[in-house]
Chain A
């Protein structure tokens, strides 16, 4: 089967620093892959390369078997319409109301009229467990957990085929983190979407992953089903999932 998303030998350097050093990764349609790895190992750059926010230096990125690196104009817009993304800090537009944030991709990105878009936005706001009155507030008036929920509602509003989650539980208390994990699992299943998450929260990874890959030093060093995580036979993975200070991964 053609993978939904496939990265081959993707490299990216910022000056002398090699952030991605030949990433190879494939996700089958409908699967949820979680990429784990420490801070500064290139997780975010990898996601941004797929979206074309960062231009990789070399390598190939395919979506549904089609090369997407270097796409421009209308082709790129069409490619981006397949994606939804939940950002680490929410990245809500602070000058717009909550419902306008959720409806943004529908109204501005796809030209839907505001009335229909608002109905969908309210439905998505309900789906992430918020009351519809929240729609008329500004993002600054919401707590961190609520902002994450709104960010999730915005990511799924246009029913994307592929959803990226960038550190979805960072900065949340453990209970709210679990609520967000449940919402992610539920919404990805409902949409039948393919999910790629990056995190260093192992509880979150175990909950939302079908497969896990570990990134270290700009490369994928292990990739397998979440059930094999504890028997990976990889010292780097063992050190990371148990959070040990001593091991092959050096401290900076």
Chain B
């Protein structure tokens, strides 16, 4: 740039600078999406190609599935309860109390159980995966796996991805039952509904697709949580700060992706 005075030079370069920054930001974003997609493809390929590590897979099933049960159960229970209570205060204004059972069961199975379970598991499991794999990266344990002829994608990442994708639907199925039960308890014991009519209203409105769509969503969310935990842990920067950042990024990115994919999948199923 051969501008003679600082004023004209700023005047001329400012738009260039703006373009440059926007371009760099966009390129950076595409680069991130690209590396994440390649990582995901590689990880999925290793889920299907031998060798498999069944002991690792079993450990992850227990870690991700069984130990998340209390968290998901409590979330579903209180969500079902509060739904019954809230919809009652609203619906009595229109004399529409009979719709409460339907509101509870549809909200829980279609939306709340999968999304809330996904978010809770992102906090519990996604963070743990990122911290564990990140620490292994920082302490060279991942390099050590390679030198011992064990592929880290097969040993660390594939078992977590498969366990996440399988276990979240199971957790959500249990969450569905507990959530509906929570609504039932409040409706019967606090709001004075008759158990028979509440249950028959629940069954009447519920369709197979409501539950199935929720379970498919749960599978996708389980995959997202495990993938983001593994990706951020695997690419963790050095030191305690690097692992901390990896953990935060894993939870934040998987939570946001869960909400985005929830919208996309709802659109696919119900429109």
A-side interface residues toward B, CB under 8 Å?
A: 48, 51-53, 77, 80-81, 83-85, 87-89, 91-94, 104-105, 108-110, 154, 158, 164
Answer whether residue B204 sits at the interface, using C-beta atoms and an 8 A cutoff: no
Stretch at the interface among B141-149, B163-171, B223-231: B141-149
A51 lies within 8 A of B146 (CB) = yes
- Other-chain residue from B140, B147, B155 in contact with A83 (beta carbon distance below 8 A): B147
A91 lies within 8 A of B149 (CB) = no
Closest to B143 in A: A53
Closest to B148 in A: A105
Across the interface, which residues of A come within 8 angstroms of B148, CB to CB? 104-105, 108-109, 154, 158
Smallest CB separation, A218 vs chain B (Å)? 20
Across the interface, which residues of A come within 8 angstroms of B269, CB to CB? none
- Other-chain residue from A92, A93, A109 in contact with B149 (beta carbon distance below 8 A): A109
- Other-chain residue from A51, A91, A108 in contact with B141 (beta carbon distance below 8 A): A91
Smallest CB separation, A37 vs chain B (Å)? 19
Answer whether residue B150 sits at the interface, using C-beta atoms and an 8 A cutoff: yes
B-side interface residues toward A, CB under 8 Å?
A: 53, 136, 139-141, 143-144, 146-150, 155
Across the interface, which residues of B come within 8 angstroms of A109, CB to CB? 148-150
B144 lies within 8 A of A77 (CB) = no
Closest to B146 in A: A53
A87 lies within 8 A of B144 (CB) = yes
- Other-chain residue from B53, B143, B149, B155 in contact with A87 (beta carbon distance below 8 A): B143
Closest to A82 in B: B149
Q: A108-B53, A108-B155 are in contact. Are A48 and B143 (CB under 8 A)?
A: yes
Question: In the complex, A198 Cα to B146 Cα: how many Å?
Answer: 19
Across the interface, which residues of A come within 8 angstroms of B143, CB to CB? 48, 51, 53, 87, 91
B155 lies within 8 A of A91 (CB) = no
Smallest CB separation, A235 vs chain B (Å)? 33
B149 lies within 8 A of A110 (CB) = yes
Question: In the complex, A109 Cα to B147 Cα: how many Å?
Answer: 9
Q: Which 6 A-B pairs have the closest CB atoms?
A: A109-B149, A105-B148, A91-B144, A91-B140, A85-B147, A80-B149
Question: In the complex, A87 Cα to B155 Cα: how many Å?
Answer: 20
Question: In the complex, A89 Cα to B139 Cα: how many Å?
Answer: 7
Q: A108-B53, A108-B155 are in contact. Are A80 and B146 (CB under 8 A)?
A: yes
Closest to A81 in B: B149
Question: In the complex, A88 Cα to B150 Cα: how many Å?
Answer: 20
Closest to B59 in A: A95
A105 lies within 8 A of B149 (CB) = yes
Across the interface, which residues of A come within 8 angstroms of B155, CB to CB? 108
A88 lies within 8 A of B140 (CB) = yes
Across the interface, which residues of A come within 8 angstroms of B147, CB to CB? 51, 80, 83-85, 164
Smallest CB separation, B53 vs chain A (Å)? 7
Given contacts A85-B144, A105-B148, A154-B148, 11 further A-B contacts (CB under 8 A): A48-B143, A51-B143, A51-B146, A89-B139, A91-B143, A108-B53, A108-B155, A109-B148, A110-B149, A158-B148, A164-B147
Question: In the complex, A52 Cα to B143 Cα: how many Å?
Answer: 10
Across the interface, which residues of A come within 8 angstroms of B53, CB to CB? 108
Question: In the complex, A84 Cα to B148 Cα: how many Å?
Answer: 7
Question: In the complex, A1 Cα to B136 Cα: how many Å?
Answer: 40
Across the interface, which residues of A come within 8 angstroms of B144, CB to CB? 85, 87, 91-93
Question: In the complex, A80 Cα to B140 Cα: how many Å?
Answer: 16
Smallest CB separation, B150 vs chain A (Å)? 5
Smallest CB separation, A157 vs chain B (Å)? 9
* A-B contacts, 29 listed (Cβ < 8 Å): A51-B143, A52-B146, A53-B143, A53-B146, A80-B146, A80-B147, A80-B149, A81-B149, A83-B147, A84-B147, A85-B144, A85-B147, A87-B140, A87-B143, A87-B144, A91-B139, A91-B140, A91-B141, A91-B143, A92-B144, A93-B144, A104-B148, A104-B150, A105-B149, A108-B53, A108-B148, A108-B155, A109-B149, A109-B150
Smallest CB separation, B27 vs chain A (Å)? 15
Smallest CB separation, A161 vs chain B (Å)? 13
B139 lies within 8 A of A108 (CB) = no
Residue with the greatest number of chain B CB neighbours at <10 A, chosen from A80, A84, A154: A80
Question: In the complex, A88 Cα to B147 Cα: how many Å?
Answer: 14
Across the interface, which residues of B come within 8 angstroms of A85, CB to CB? 144, 147
